[in-house]
């Protein structure tokens, strides 16, 4: 009989470009593919939109393994992670436990404890990196400290070799013993109230969906990325973030595919964005407190003006600023929001409304299908000016001019704010500036079909700058 290796899947729900799987194949193990849903054990329990994607990604992974002759073992989510793992090891006489590392702070701590415990019991335990391009411990500056600015990070790493993994999943010998796997439905990942109809229209949350999107995007759209990435009305971004988050495609595989086109604009455009993803993982690994605390500690005392009513209006896309509302409605309907619009809505929440960035991070965490803890943390800290490469607090996006510049045809706003579809373009991004007769002819009454602004841009900007001035004075006194 072959020795049995338990392959513990996490954010690596694929069979290609999977170091842990390939090692087990090369060593001649019989492989028991395993997944466990951690419930109520971690600081950041996965959000509703992420749960939807995970359900379909696990279903797809199980189908891929079944096609090759194996069975994905789903451990009961009623058991804590360590107990579920130990039970499976004992039930199936496992001799080796393998996984690809997750770099979320809670997972780093948990995995170290589990690895030590399993080794004490005489098992072979080995972890690998298939989640990011480089180990965070190898991405330090010349002083041996973590980078806090992206450009030197990028310059230091961009010429570093990225490993290529020769994948042979078809050669795997899968565990053939009897299993008592939990049904996927027992994880209760899909919503009881069917708010997810738009998700099915936009996404194919499978490995095949990832590869199809790569084929659609690269190389033509990838070459045009720098020209189109800021236009939410165009299909100009890769839409690969949820596939990368769940590991249905790996960053190494994606970078090699993009670079095969040998186009300079791809390197400076979309590939550079993948290094931003790398930077986010680097930051969270080295600064684990930043999921809830600012990277720069002085910002812990920033004078936020917490207001549940303002937060709720922002969450529901009822701020009275069309580009903001369009983004928030797109998020709710599809589990995704265009990156330029993420910056606009984030700036509006943090600066115009003076709501804590943590509130925005919480909402995105629950509503984004690509809710990656490193990316979400870095993005909101950037918006608040409290993190690496943070936007200066005095830079306050004007949602009117941002709308006019990046949704110049109005197509994006008209799609997600259909009550404004007949408003003339010159007033579309600021309907409160339109003459009453223009609104009347468009079938819009402010405060009825579409809300009045919850704050004026001038007042919001002044409010933000005043808060920052007071904060800066308090730091100097």
User: Token digits for 258?
Assistant: 């993009």
Question: What is the structure's pLDDT at 160?
Answer: 95
CA gap 95, 150 in Å, rounded:
42
User: Token digits for 31?
Assistant: 């492989």
Mean pLDDT score across all residues of the chain: 95
Residue 348 in this model has a pLDDT that exceeds 90: yes
Question: What is the structure's pLDDT at 47?
Answer: 93
CA gap 269, 256 in Å, rounded:
14
Among 151, 141, 125, 147, CA closest to 285: 147
CATH code matching the domain that covers 132-161+200-286, chosen among 1.20.1630.10, 3.40.640.10, 1.25.40.80, 3.40.50.300 = 1.25.40.80
User: Token digits for 317?
Assistant: 């896309």
Question: What is the structure's pLDDT at 40?
Answer: 64
> How large is the average pLDDT for residues 71-82?
94
Question: What is the structure's pLDDT at 406?
Answer: 98
Going along 338-445, which residue ranges are E strands?
none
CA gap 239, 270 in Å, rounded:
11
Give the residue extent of every domain in the chain: 1-130, 132-161+200-286, 297-476
Provide CATH code, domain 297-476: 1.10.579.10
CA gap 198, 330 in Å, rounded:
9
State the first-to-last Cα distance of the chain, in angstroms, to the nearest integer.
Answer: 73
| φ/ψ (deg, to 5) at 317 | 70, 45
Q: Which residue has the higher pLDDT, 218 or 9?
A: 9
Question: What is the structure's pLDDT at 28?
Answer: 97
Q: Are the C-beta atoms of residues 393 and 464 closer than 8 Å to each other?
A: yes
CA gap 129, 377 in Å, rounded:
21
Question: What is the structure's pLDDT at 155?
Answer: 96
- DSSP 8-state code for residue 171: G
Question: What is the structure's pLDDT at 166?
Answer: 83
Examine residue 291 and say whether the peptide bond preceding it is cis (omega within 30 degrees of 0). no
pLDDT digits (tens, 9 = 90+) for 240-267: 999 999 999 999 999 999 999 999 999 9
Number of alpha carbons in the 13 Å side-chain half-sphere of residue 191? 14
Question: What is the structure's pLDDT at 367?
Answer: 98
pLDDT digits (tens, 9 = 90+) for 349-370: 999 999 999 999 999 999 999 9
Provide CATH code, domain 1-130: 3.40.50.620
Percent of the chain with pLDDT over 90: 91
> How large is the average pLDDT for residues 447-472?
94
3-state SS of 119-136 is: HHCCCEEEEECCCCCCCH
Rounded to two decimals, the pTM is: 0.96
How many residues are there in the chain? Answer: 477
User: Token digits for 94?
Assistant: 């496992």
Among 380, 161, 158, CA closest to 284: 380
Q: What is the DSSP string of 142-155?
A: TTSSB--SHHHHHH
CA gap 344, 21 in Å, rounded:
41
Q: How would you class 165 by CB atoms within 10 Å of its CB: exposed for 0-12, middle for 13-18, buried for 19 or more?
A: middle
User: Token digits for 329?
Assistant: 């409605």
Cβ burial 109-132 (10 Å sphere, 16+ → b, else e): ebbeebbeebeeeebebbbbbbbb
> How large is the average pLDDT for residues 203-208?
98
Among 355, 362, 390, 388, CA closest to 376: 362
**Sign of the C-alpha dihedral computed for residues 77, 78, 79 and 85 taken in this order:** negative
Residue whose tokens read 């806090």: 148
Range in 11-15, 225-229, 389-393 with the lowest mean pLDDT = 389-393
User: Token digits for 27?
Assistant: 């060593």
| φ/ψ (deg, to 5) at 291 | -65, -30
């Amino acid at each position: 009989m072959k020795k049995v290796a338990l392959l513990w899947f996490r954010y690596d729900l694929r069979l290609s470009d999977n170091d842990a799987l390939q090692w087990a194949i090369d060593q001649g193990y019989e492989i028991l593919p395993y997944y466990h849903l951690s419930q109520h054990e971690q600081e950041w329990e996965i959000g509703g939109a992420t749960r939807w994607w995970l359900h379909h990604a696990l279903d797809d992974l199980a189908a891929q393994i079944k096609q090759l002759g194996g069975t994905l073992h789903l451990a009961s989510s009623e058991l804590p992670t360590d107990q579920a793992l130990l039970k499976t090891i004992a039930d199936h006489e496992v001799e080796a436990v393998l996984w690809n590392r997750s770099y979320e702070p809670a997972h780093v701590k948990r995995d170290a404890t589990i690895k030590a415990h399993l080794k004490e019991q005489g098992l072979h335990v080995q972890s690998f990196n298939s989640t990011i391009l480089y180990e965070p411990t190898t991405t330090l500056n010349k002083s041996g400290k973590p980078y806090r600015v992206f450009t030197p990070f990028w310059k230091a790493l961009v010429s570093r070799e990225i490993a290529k993994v020769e994948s042979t999943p078809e050669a795997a010998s899968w565990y053939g013993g009897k299993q008592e796997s939990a049904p996927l439905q027992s994880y209760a990942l899909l919503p009881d109230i069917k708010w997810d109809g738009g998700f099915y229209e936009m996404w194919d949350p499978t490995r095949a969906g990832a590869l199809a999107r790569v084929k659609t995007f690269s190389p033509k759209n990838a070459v045009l990325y720098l020209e189109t990435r800021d236009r939410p009305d165009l299909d100009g971004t890769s839409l690969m973030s949820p596939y990368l988050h769940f590991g249905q495609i790996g960053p190494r595989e994606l970078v090699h595919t993009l670079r095969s086109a040998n186009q300079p604009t791809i390197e400076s455009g979309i590939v550079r964005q993948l290094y931003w993803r790398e930077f986010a993982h680097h930051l969270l690994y080295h600064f684990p407190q930043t999921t809830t605390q600012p990277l720069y500690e002085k910002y812990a005392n920033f004078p936020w003006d917490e207001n549940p009513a303002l937060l709720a209006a922002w969450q529901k896309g009822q701020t009275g600023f069309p580009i903001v509302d369009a983004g928030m409605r797109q998020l709710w309907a599809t589990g995704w929001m265009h990156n330029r619009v993420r910056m606009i809505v984030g700036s509006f929440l943090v600066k115009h409304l003076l709501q804590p960035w943590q509130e925005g991070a919480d909402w995105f965490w629950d509503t984004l299908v690509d809710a990656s803890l490193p990316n979400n943390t870095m993005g909101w800290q950037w918006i608040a000016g409290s993190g690496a490469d943070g936007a200066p607090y005095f830079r306050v996006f004007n949602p009117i001019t941002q709308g006019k510049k990046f949704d110049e045809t109005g197509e994006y706003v008209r799609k997600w704010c259909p009550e404004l579809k007949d408003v003339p373009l010159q007033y579309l991004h600021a309907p409160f500036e339109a003459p009453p007769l223009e609104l009347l002819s468009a079938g819009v009454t402010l405060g009825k079909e579409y809300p009045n602004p919850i704050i004026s841009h001038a007042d919001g900007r002044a409010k933000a700058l005043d808060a920052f001035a007071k904060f800066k004075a308090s730091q100097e006194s």
